[in-house]
Every structure is written in structure tokens, then in C-alpha cells.
Chain A
């Protein structure tokens, strides 16, 4: 096997707020191989966007990456060591200047959910694309313009040469997202982080974009980290998937295994709660309660208050994300149910009643994370 393109080890990103420390990303590890699409999936508040932004060190105050290591082709984007009893960035860790000049855009590009916010409304679409190419690829204006028009055509903008001088508001939502994809691709990066890029789009437009990404990925061999809450998109486009819950990765598997050989009750429950487009589901099985806040996560397994399979041992022991099935690609899950791996006596432990309740007596948003009601 070749070396991974990106390695994330035990990443921790925290937000220091007045109410306390929000542990948005709490010890996350995953890898991205060259040419694969890795899914990062979870509900809102799971920490998937913060994890994705941490890779490019785009987290803003009061947020801060406090621990962990991120290696891109062996270069430390994030690395800490203990000095004088405190964690400090290592000497080798890339400086902000190096990040800006060598990594962002050139090696790792990012596409956000809302294309209108990523494009400046007072400059033409082509001008913004050209400037980006000029800066990142050291090209002259003329050359950059020619490439910009080529890229617009490549992502399926009709009459690319004419639309070059249009403003963002003259493009439809799908077209704007195509422009951002063109921008991301124009520097031929090895990795593109796509943060919910199709969430704001209609299904037929979303299908167009997914198709486009499929084609381009084949052509350029770019790796993707695809951040989404939509299990349908995950099934459609990713090769491997990381499921996040409350700042942690709870399951990690190849896409087919994740859907057909699910090892974590959260993933199971999430799949079970979805209405299906291809079959009529009479009764939906929602997950009880709501996700607690990351400020004061539950003890033991963080999912235990909502987990239908929770037992007493789950309230005490915090499971790490271990390999539970090494047939083929390793399948990791952070659940004590896999007792042959964790060996903490799950099956002998007493089942517990769902603390979250079945309906919405689950307590108010502001009480979440506390003892409940």
C-alpha cells in the first residue's frame, strides 16, 4: 500500500466560550489515501465541519487546535510536543506563511456549502478565478485568463468565454457551485475538502454536481474529503466513511460495509430513521432525544443516553475507535457491543433504560448535556 496522502492523529479542536470549553473535535483519527473520496458524516453539531477546517488550520477564535497531529505527505500541518509541561507546536510544524503559500489552494483546496458567500459579489466570476490562478500558479494575466475559461468550460458552464465577465448574482446556485469547483480544481490540488457542497442545491442540480465530481475525480485523480449529513450522498459518492458523533469518530468503514455490516448502534439508528425514496417505509424509527452539547458530554460512551443497546457498562467505560473486523479493509467502531474486541463484559452488564425518553420530554436545549430531566 502506498503512503496515505493525509494522516490525522488524535486531533483535538476546542472552543473557549464563556459557558466553558466546547470540545468540538475530541480525538479524531483518520487517513485519506491518494485518489479516494472519504466521507465525514454526522448530524449538525457533530464536529465534522470543524474537523475539516482544522486540516487547513482555518479554525478561528475562540476556536483553537489544542492537540493532535496532521501530516500531509509527511509534512506536519499540525504537530505538538510537550515543552515545560505544556503542549506547544513543534519546530517542524508549518508556519502560517507556509500554509498560505504552499498548502492552501495549491495542495489542499476547500469548497464551502454556500457558493454566494465564497464569491465576492462586486467582482466578476472570471476575474476572481483568474486572480486565484495568478497567485497560486505564478502565471501571467493572459495565461491565467485562458486557463480560467478552460476550467469554466471543464465544469460545464455554457458559453464560458462570454460568462467569464458575468457577476456571481447572474449565475444560478448550481452554476456558482460549479465555479467554486473550477476554482478548487484550477491549481490541480491533490486533496479537495468539500464541506456540504450540495446541501443548498436542488436534487437535480445536486445530481449534476455529483456526476461532475465523479468525472473530474476520474480524470485528475484528486482525493476528496466529503463532509455531509446526507447518507444518500455518502452512499452515492464515497469510498470510505467516517461517522462522527459529538466530536468523535464512532465508526469507520468502507462504504458498503458501513451500510450493510453496520457495527455501531448510532449508525444503525441513523440509517433506520431515514425515509427512503426507493421504498415506502410505514413507520420511521427516530433516535430518541437530541444530541447533547459538546460542552459537557455524557460519561462513558457519549451515545449511551440515546442508545437502544446501552448497558450499565456503557455509562462507565469510554470506548475508543478500535478495529472490530479486519476482514478486508479494517472496519473500526467505538462500541462495547463488540465484546470480543473490547472485553469489558458488555453482555453480562445490565441493560439500562433510555435516559433520553422516547419523545420530546428529553429536556430543553439549554439543559442538554446536564443530567436531563
Chain B
């Protein structure tokens, strides 16, 4: 690491060794009020007489009881679809947002409890890179001062030292040090993201949170930036929390991967294990959904049904159960797998109202070509069918949901299981009841 450190101030005081835990997140939650303002949540009880006012607040449970750890020098990939809470999680980890519950230990200090100067001091070691390289750079500042800004904020180095460091960093991230006096608009998207990298690197942090850093870039430019990020990691021993919706990028850059769905982490494993041996139905669905850049590999696509439920009122138990292709049958029914699969499709179709009933024969043929299953389950199905035929959709829906969905273990218990890995020997966590023993 030649000449990068200009003063003792920048020497990293490595209290944590490589492979030791650098960041530990414990039961972290972030809930936002669903409406804001002075009278938010004010409701009126209109049942009889004069309406009585009362307060009832609804909360968006953006991040709910999330735990993970990151070891020094590794990259943890955090993947999930838009709205799953991955960016909120990242901001809460850095305490840019105050957590509603839970702890974040960075090098042994609990960030959730720090404030004022202590928090400010520890932020020197944690930096962040955002998705949009355009809006994260002040258009009226020159590139040099942009890169120096964190140094100034933390009172590090004198003016001359800062400029020297800025020029060095520009070169490190693959820009020309001569560009010190240019403005951000004079750079392309990929180059702007490099400026962001240089700025994050300026205070010599240990930990960088990267929030979709290459999503706005073209494929060939993305590869350049990803390679640079890897080189910097090796050279400076950086630890990344890398957030992306793009599983290909995650597979390339990460050592371990966490998959998020509706505010919760549903699976964590080493990269190879997660991609080759995914154990959560949501991870499997995500993986099968990505288009592979090879026409000969195309074909095995299983599209997920429906939309993500609202985080205001998430499903009980496993949050993925309302869309899960492997929802488990309630224990009290004695059904074969095929029978349950038919009932499950029927349940989803009734729940989403995706068909119109034209006649009993047609309905039975469509959902139960081999006849309705015998026993209790069959009775419920028959009752639901007759409700649908009399156009009573709401009754039919609540009947099948109550009987088939709410009684499944998936709805009754929150899943959490450790799995024996097939690839490597890292920990493999999957929040899915398919892995309950017995």
C-alpha cells in the first residue's frame, strides 16, 4: 500500500482482524408511520351517537427483525425486489435512519445507542455509495473538493494534504488526477460512479455500503466499475455490504448472499451454496426468473403469481406464503401432493379472483379434472364452489383462506432453520418450514 497514507491520521487502527466479525446486526427493525402530520392517525368512531375521536396509527414494517453479520474483508450481497426494504435496511445499519428496535454492533460499539460526537467519529469508518451517480454529486462543486469533503468534515489533514490525497484517489479509482478541477457534468455515468468511490475511500473507511451502485450503468461500463471495486477491496481490505436487485451482479461480487422479502431476510448462505443449492422457494423463484444471456439455457421459467403484499399488514408466519408455490398443507387434512397442488391453485385463483364462473361443470373441470378430493378438504372445496356459483365471492374467499391458508404451519409459525450446506462449510439459513425435521 504505497504512499496512500499521508499521515498517521489515515492509518487504519485495525482492531478487527480479517475473518473476524466487523458488523453484527441483531433483531433490527425499522417501522415508519403510514401517515404523517399532526392529525395523522386521528379516526372517528361512527358507531351510534356523536362520533368519538380516537387515535390509531398504522405502521409500515419496512424492516422487521433482521439479523446478520459481516466479517472483515468480505462482501455480503443483499438481494431483493423493489420495496422489500433493502435500502431502508442499509440506511438503518449506518444509522442514517434511527432503528425502531434492535442493535447494530460495529467493531463492538452499538451504533443504535451512540449519539453526537461518538456517532460522528465512528462514521469515519463507514461510508456509502448510492445508485444514481448524477444526483449524489453536487453539480456546482469541482471533483477535487467533492472527494475532499469527507476529509474536511472529519477535520483530517491540512489543505495541501487533502488535495494530494484527492489526486491520489482519483488515480486509484481509474480517473486522471488532472481532472481534479473539472465538474461532475463533464464525466460519463461510469466515471461519476468512480468519483463517488473516490469520495467514499477518502477517509480510509473499513466498511462501505453500496446501494445499487451499478444499476444505472451500461453492461460494459458496469463491468469496469465492478472490477475497480474488487481491486480496491483487495488493496485496502475493505468490507462491502452490496445491495442489488440484479442476481448476476450479486453472484459476481459477493462472498455471501442474503435474500430479502417484504422486510425480512429469508435466506443467507455462501454465494456458491445459495446459487447452486437454494433452499427457500422465494430464492428459487428469483433465480428461475432471471433471463440468462444464452438462448440454449432458456426454458425453465417459473413465474411467481401475484404481487408483493403490503408491508403495513404483512401475512402472518412466513410472509411469502401468499405467493409460495410450495405452501404446506394444513396437518389435519390427509391429502396426496397432487390433490394439495390442485387445492392450492384453486385457493390462489379464488383469492385473486382470476377467473369467472360460467358453470359448475366448467369450474370442476378447470380446477379438479380428476374430481374433488375426498374427506374434509373436499367438503370445503364443494362448499366454496357452490358459493362461487351463487356469485358470493367474498364468502368463498374467506372460507378457503380460513380453511386452507390460515391453518397451514406457514401461517401459524415464523420459520427459521439452519441447513447443512452442500457447497462449502459456511452457515446456511433458510426461513422456510419445508425444512422442519420430522
Question: For residue A286, which residues in chain B have a CB less than 8 angstroms away from its CB?
Answer: 220-224, 227
Q: Does A276 lie within 8 Å of B179, measured CB to CB? A: no
Q: Does B287 lie within 8 Å of A277, measured CB to CB? A: yes
Interchain CA distance A159-B228 in the complex, whole Å: 49
Q: Counting CB contacts under 8 A, is A59 at the interface? A: no
Q: Counting CB contacts under 8 A, is B389 at the interface? A: no
Interchain CA distance A203-B79 in the complex, whole Å: 11
A235-B291, A360-B175 known; A276+B251 contact, CB < 8 A: yes
- Kindly identify which residue among A255, A280, A291 contacts B295, using a CB–CB cutoff of 8 Å: A255
Q: Does A204 lie within 8 Å of B304, measured CB to CB? A: yes
Question: For residue B292, which residues in chain A have a CB less than 8 angstroms away from its CB?
Answer: 232, 235-236, 276-278
Q: Does A208 lie within 8 Å of B303, measured CB to CB? A: yes
Q: Does B219 lie within 8 Å of A231, measured CB to CB? A: yes
Q: Counting CB contacts under 8 A, is B275 at the interface? A: yes
Q: Does A273 lie within 8 Å of B295, measured CB to CB? A: no
Number of interface residues of A (CB under 8 A): 57
Q: Counting CB contacts under 8 A, is B359 at the interface? A: no
Q: Does A277 lie within 8 Å of B191, measured CB to CB? A: no
Interface 0/1 of A19-44, CB less than 8 Å to B = 00000000000000000000000011
A158-B352, A259-B295, A365-B191 known; A232+B186 contact, CB < 8 A: no
Q: Counting CB contacts under 8 A, is A350 at the interface? A: no
Q: Does A365 lie within 8 Å of B187, measured CB to CB? A: yes
Q: Counting CB contacts under 8 A, is B296 at the interface? A: yes
Question: For residue B296, which residues in chain A have a CB less than 8 angstroms away from its CB?
Answer: 256, 259-260
Q: Does B191 lie within 8 Å of A284, measured CB to CB? A: no
A229-B219, A273-B223, A280-B251 known; A360+B303 contact, CB < 8 A: no
Question: For residue B297, which residues in chain A have a CB less than 8 angstroms away from its CB?
Answer: 235, 278
Q: Does B186 lie within 8 Å of A158, measured CB to CB? A: no
- Kindly identify which residue among B218, B298, B356 contacts A44, using a CB–CB cutoff of 8 Å: B218
Interface 0/1 of A183-220, CB less than 8 Å to B = 00000000000000000001111111011000000000
Question: For residue B295, which residues in chain A have a CB less than 8 angstroms away from its CB?
Answer: 235-236, 255-256, 259-260
Interchain CA distance A175-B308 in the complex, whole Å: 12
Q: Counting CB contacts under 8 A, is B364 at the interface? A: no
Query: Whole-angstrom distance from the CB of A14 to the nearest CB of chain B?
Result: 22
Residue of A nearest to B289 (CB): A207
Question: For residue A158, which residues in chain B have a CB less than 8 angstroms away from its CB?
Answer: 352-354
Interchain CA distance A232-B288 in the complex, whole Å: 12
- Kindly identify which residue among B190, B218, B307 contacts A175, using a CB–CB cutoff of 8 Å: B307
Q: Does B294 lie within 8 Å of A274, measured CB to CB? A: no
Question: For residue A55, which residues in chain B have a CB less than 8 angstroms away from its CB?
Answer: none
Interchain CA distance A20-B294 in the complex, whole Å: 39
Q: Counting CB contacts under 8 A, is B271 at the interface? A: yes
The 10 A-B pairs with the shortest beta carbon distances in the complex, nearest first, are A232-B291, A286-B223, A275-B252, A207-B289, A287-B220, A360-B174, A273-B223, A202-B81, A231-B293, A286-B224
25 CB-based A-B contacts, threshold 8 Å:
A44-B218, A153-B356, A156-B354, A207-B288, A208-B304, A211-B303, A231-B293, A235-B295, A236-B295, A256-B295, A270-B219, A271-B293, A273-B219, A275-B226, A275-B252, A277-B287, A278-B294, A280-B272, A284-B226, A290-B188, A359-B174, A359-B228, A365-B187, A365-B188, A368-B188
